[in-house]
Amino acid sequence: MMNKLIAPSILSADFGRLIEEVNAIKKAGADWIHIDVMDGHFVPNISLGIPIIEALKNITSPPMDIHLMIDNPDERVEDFIKAGDPLVRVITVQYETCKLLHSTISRIKSKGVMAGLALNPLTPLSVLEEIFPYIDLVLVMTVEPGFAGQPFIKSMIPKVRELRNIISKLDNKPIIEVDGGIKLNNIREVAKAGADVFVSGSGIFKTKSYFKTIQAMRKELKRRK
């Protein structure tokens, strides 16, 4: 069983001092840095792009976990991998945006990067059936994608639990990541349901001490009861 990983989402960081923010979460012990890319089409918001990823690479950020919430991601995955090389650990695309899903996943993996597939809250797990053998990570969105600071959708707990049960029976066992509303007061419950990687934006960046928050989260993840 893999170690539980904490991936602060810089969508909630102070963009006026982004380099300081990334250095701070690195020192606080973040495992990955989660980067949300939005194009204003699939979701209404517009966020980080290739220049930001290139800048973060130059300051040696934690390994990059890049989530593409964009239309036609198959046309851009290689650009994002190149921008973050060699720090890109995962490229995740949204199921709802992929016209040629198998091709997109194959293109990501051909570059030596983990391929992830994200599902919106209302997208059923059944869509994963044919793609399970090819993906390295499933990202369960626990809020509607597009904006930071939304409350956690509690009905996603059974979805994570069901996904863990399905994966336990597979030969290929992708990592389960959760994103949206993850905070100190719910991270343990989500972990018990079967999640491996925890994306937290405001749950970390809106606290006074990133170090204390991440350490407290790790303590929750290690609790037996």
Q: In 30-176, where does DSSP find H-type helix?
A: 50-58, 77-84, 101-110, 156-168
Q: Where are the beta strands (DSSP E) in the chain?
A: 5-8, 33-38, 64-69, 88-94, 114-119, 137-141, 175-179, 197-200
136 contacts 105 by C-beta, under 8 angstroms? no
- Residue with token string 């994570």: 160
Catalytic residues: 36, 179
Q: Which amino acid is at 51?
A: P
Angle at 140 between CA 208 and CA 186, to 5 degrees: 40
Pull the structure tokens for residue 166: 């399905």
Pairing outcome for strands 5-8 and 197-200 = parallel
125 contacts 119 by C-beta, under 8 angstroms? yes
